[in-house]
Amino acid sequence: MTRRILGIDLGTTYSLVGALVNGEPTLFPNANGALLTPSAIGVDHDGQMLTGEAARSLALTAPDRAVRFFKRDMGTLRKHRLGDRDFTPVELSALVLGALKRDAEEALGQPMLEAVITVPAYFGDAQRQATRDAGALAGLQVHRVLNEPTAAALAYGLHQRHREMRCVVLDLGGGTFDVTVLEIIEGVIEIASSAGDARLGGEDFTDALAEKITARVQTEHSSCELQGPLMRARLREACELAKRRLGAEPTTRLVLPNVPAGRGEIDVDIEVTREDLERASLPLLSRMRVPIERALRDAKMPTSKIDEVLMVGGATRMRSVVELAGTTFGRLPLRSLPADEPVAHGAAIQAALIADDAAVDDLVVTDVAPFSLGIATAERLGGTYVPGIFTPILERGTVLPASRSRTFSTIADDQTRILVEVYQGEHASVADNERLGELEVTGLPRAPAGAMGLEVRFSYDLDGILEVDASYDGKPTAAQVVIQNRKGKLDPLALERARAALQKLKIHPRETLPNRTALARADALHVELTGGARQHLAEAMRYFRAALETQDPKIIEQVRGQLIAVMDRLR
């Protein structure tokens, strides 16, 4: 049996899974036949867990029974309530990964136990570890947590391996924005710098438009109630559809029927223009410029030296984002791959590299540290020491794997102990950075202050594992620690308990998920329609429910197709 390792793009809004098949990255469809699986989890009235499109549609009609955008909470202790229990972001991500794993197994006809999972380049240590834990909960051995822009570069590099070029990857997904500067030289993809914003994505553009529409509606209809969970979900969905349409058309109409207003209801029907979206987006576009400028500065590469601009992520379809790239770099972006797919393609290529697939044996990829790593120190100012100073040892942008060291001195006479506190970040004060762990060095020989030198060495690899060594007087290592006990990390016992709890959940069977998805989509659309269109959809739904009662797969598939066709016409 051919050894295959999955490449997974675990996205904020949508996720994809693929592998290298016959030398080409191949993406696998979900149970509904789509390559994009919404990163959404829900629970239906029977207590069965729903994933993907069924859960996303459920969020529009019952927002208290479905959750989305939980990737933004990875690495935190936040919990989301679904049904009668709370779920962590790690558990919710594991349910999405489990669904992707089953889709790949269905397509390949073999068990899949290994994976490469992508993360935003600007994800910190805790978020990367949470991603690994989610993979483990889903039954996957995660070989590599790969930066999304690096994955996109691999996807383009596979087809451009004999070309020399300097590129900038602008990766604007649903929840994060990354910028990576890189060079491709004869199959070697060398990352020069990465920067980004882990809380800026396409969903923020939708929220900005929703705020603008809310203010406009309430100005015209002061009694309108748009703040409840259901109305907010409906409004966001309408704004998301409007945002997509405005990519191709200068104007569109936003329709919200049956909006609560005073003691009754009104139908909201307003025109939304591309200019409305662009004005709402101005603060977000300004935020995008900051990491672009930082990445170019770190790479010491002016825009005049950039040969190609690669646009990755569904949100880069927005015209304002394309125009931002064009004005910044003075050229149109390269779009030879669908915006949603390069990251998953690149993950599949990285997985093939790990599996020693001969089809990619001439590709080499390097990566860089997205954050600076250092320790807490004290600095003498006048006659006193000021503690809490962040002193970097391994700077951001360092090519990985890497090993760097610095020597520090004691600050007190006869000091026999030093506590080395390890931090990640860019701020001058450790209080503003993230604490990763600590290393205690004891048994130092007594000496005057400043006479004892302690060498602290950081060794950091492509998997994000940091090893810290401390030694003095040229002796072998006095103390060593591998930073693994990170915030939010599941220890083996907690991992096993969480896996057992997830296995007890009633996961909706894959073979019936298309039926549940079709009904959930239809129900969400039924809420938005009125008049004859609503009656037409209701009739199609009744026919489909009757077909389900027959339990005849051929009849069910035929009538489901008819229902989907009706929805596509009415949408």
Positions annotated as catalytic residues are 9, 71, 148, 171
Q: Which residue bears the tokens 């393609």?
A: 345
Burial class of residue 267, CB neighbours in 10 A (0-12, 13-18, 19+): exposed
Contact 94, 101 (CB under 8 A): no
- CB count in 10 Å sphere of residue 527: 16
Give 381's contacts (C-beta < 8 A, 6+ positions apart): none
Provide the token pair at 201. 């994505």
3-state secondary structure (DSSP) of residue 527: helix
Provide the token pair at 187. 């199959």
Contact 58, 42 (CB under 8 A): yes
3-state secondary structure (DSSP) of residue 84: coil
Q: 17-38 burial string, b = 16+ CB within 10 Å, else e?
A: bbbbbeeebbbbebbbeebbbb
What is the distance between the alpha carbons of residues 510 and 52, in angstroms, rounded to a whole number? 11
Give 482's contacts (C-beta < 8 A, 6+ positions apart): 465, 466, 467, 468
Residue of 306, 307, 310 lying closest to 343 (CA atoms): 310
Q: How far is CA 508 from CA 41, 42, 103, 533, in A?
A: 11, 10, 13, 30
What is the distance between the alpha carbons of residues 341 and 39, in angstroms, rounded to a whole number? 15
